Amino acid sequence: MSGCADSMLFTPEYPDIKRKNSLTFSSPSFIIDCPFYENAIEARDRIQCQEYDLLLPGPCNLHCKYCFSEWGKEPQNSPCPKKSFDDITDIIRQNISAGLRKVRIKSNGEPTLYPRFWDLIDFINLHGGQTEVYTNSFNNTAELSRMFAAKNVNIVTKLDALTPEINDYLTGVTGSFTIQYKAVFNFIEAGYTMDGPKLGLHAIICKQNYGQLPRFWRFCRDLDIIPYFQIPAPPPNRNNPYFRELCVDRVAIHKLFEQILRIDKEEYGNSC
């Protein structure tokens, strides 16, 4: 598959939502994996950490070409070996008492497939934490989006392209575009706006979607979604046949970021 011409772009028919032009990236924070109390205290005091990642064990329902964890496999030398539900809640409790209230829930696979996922969200809410979940939304429904909103969970959902062919190619699952694209609007209809819980949209930067990314950026800004474009990390399996095929060189990445910076300034009045 090669890069995408603009004429191939899917034309989204999304609701006319009043744009507030107020989006900025959240301030950078330090990331620590599953810190225990002493580490949390140190992180809070010495490096002013405000939030942390919780990496849940579990499978995935997609087969992305660039997957870092090879579709949910436990990475070798994982900093966060498999833990029981009680271990995980204990870590969260310790971190909250150390002042780390915000937890980003991620997974080696898809976090919502974790068997006690909703118990975990309720536990964090009960203890005064704030949750952000990174989901591929391949199992999203309108009802699920409303549950997330009701529990005040910030979401980073995933969509790798604005065209079904490219998105489905990258996720390795036919039909994923339809579900993931619909999920964006399920979240918005459930109350994800700048005034409600926050919605981010994650896409990797690769040769296949490169030509669409400026438009993708506008798509996010128009809908008050926080865009989150990421350069894919090298997969642990260096023999992954797709990685070389996906990679965009540094010059092209630099050019893209200059372009989206211009879009933000000139079209949306955002400045860094």
Task: Give the residue with the Cβ less far from ligand SF4, 72 or 129.
Answer: 72
The SS3 assignment for 214 reads helix
Task: Give the residue with the Cβ less far from ligand SF4, 64 or 166.
Answer: 64
The pairing of strands 226-230 and 154-158 is unpaired
The SS3 assignment for 200 reads strand
| Shortest Å, Cβ 71 to ligand SF4 | 5
User: Any residues with CB less than 8 A from the CB of 46 and at least 6 apart, and which?
Assistant: none
Question: Which of 136, 163, 208, 209 is in the footprint of ligand SF4 by CB under 6 A?
Answer: 136
Residues forming beta bridges with residue 255, ordered by sequence position: none
- Binding region for ligand SF4 (CB under 6 A) out of 22-30, 46-54, 56-64, 73-81: 56-64
# residues near ligand SF4 by CB under 6 A: 11
Of residues 69-88, those binding ligand SF4 (CB under 6 A): 69, 71-72
| Shortest Å, Cβ 58 to ligand SF4 | 9
Task: Give the residue with the Cβ less far from ligand SF4, 154 or 157.
Answer: 157
* Positive or negative torsion for Cα 54, 59, 60, 65: positive
Question: Which of 35, 39, 95, 109 is in the footprint of ligand SF4 by CB under 6 A?
Answer: 109
Q: Is 64 in the site for ligand SF4 (CB under 6 A)?
A: yes
Residue 45: its H or E element: helix 37-46
Task: Give the residue with the Cβ less far from ligand SF4, 214 or 236.
Answer: 236
- Phi-psi group of 59: left, alpha or beta (phi > 0 → left; psi -120 to 50 → alpha; rest → beta): beta
- What is the C-alpha to C-alpha distance for residues 46 and 38, in angstroms, rounded to an integer? 12
| Shortest Å, Cβ 90 to ligand SF4 | 25
The SS3 assignment for 117 reads helix
The pairing of strands 130-134 and 199-204 is unpaired
Q: Write each residue from 6 to 45 as x if it is in contact with ligand SF4 (CB under 6 A), else as -, in one continuous string.
A: ----------------------------------------
Would you say 162 and 219 are in contact if contact means Cβ atoms under 8 Å apart? yes
Tell me which residue of 179, 171, 172, 180 sits closest to 201, measured CA to CA. 180
Task: Give the residue with the Cβ less far from ligand SF4, 71 or 243.
Answer: 71
- Binding region for ligand SF4 (CB under 6 A) out of 2-10, 64-72, 175-183, 264-272: 64-72
Q: Which residues bind to ligand SF4, rule: CB under 6 A?
A: 60, 62-64, 67, 69, 71-72, 109-110, 136
